[in-house]
Amino acid sequence: MEPAFVVDAARWLFVAAMVALAVGDVATFRIPNWANAAIAASFPAFAAAAALAGADIHWVGHIVAGLVVFAGGFIMFQLKSLGGGDVKLLSAAALWMGMDGLLPFLVWVGLAGGGLVLLLLILRRNLMILVAWASPRVPQNWPRVLTAGEKVPYGVAIAIGAILIAVQGRYGFFAL
């Protein structure tokens, strides 16, 4: 089996998982522990398969990336800046990025997070204006994500950053 086949299979399964987790985070504001564990546990499986096919895996760099992000995320969790599921998802995705892809990944996550916050602020504000204008004609049961004062489902930003790195194919496991 060719390493490229293993990497491509992993890439698209990773992208599909990230899309599913982002949709779930928007709907429920939760990222299940089993999903984070599956993302993290699938890395060594795919990396071992790629290594058996002849790819050179930098195991230490991937593990260090996951641990560094978990340590930083734990601090952010303690400061109530990031949810526990977000920290675990960020760490699991960082495991796939390795040290060479960690900075671009975090930059994409930050940019996607900023864009998500702006989008939600605009939508939440304008929906409230629309409701005030057409109150009797518009149903009042908005999705939770569009409710003013709700938290931001940051799993969406993490998924966008991870997907962009995976699809680019220049960093971490995806560059093999």
**What share of the chain in percent tops pLDDT 70?**
92
Evaluate if pTM is beyond 0.75.
yes
Per-residue model confidence (pLDDT) at position 138: 56
Report whether 158 contacts 31 (CB < 8 A): no
- In this structure, the dihedral spanned by the alpha carbons of residues 96, 99, 104 and 107, taken in order and rounded to 10 degrees, is 90
pLDDT in tens, 17-68: 999 999 999 999 999 999 999 999 999 999 999 999 888 999 999 999 999 9
Tokens at residue 168, please? 């680019």
For residue range 158-176, what is the model confidence (pLDDT) as tens digits? Answer: 999 999 999 999 999 998 7
Domain residue spans of the chain:
3-175
pLDDT, mean over the chain:
92
Distances (CA, A) of 174 to 1, 83, 111: 17, 27, 21
Sequential DSSP letters for 107-161:
HHHHHHHHHHHHHHHHHHHHHHHHHHHSTTTS-S---GGGSTTPPP-THHHHHHH
Contact 57, 51 (CB under 8 A): yes
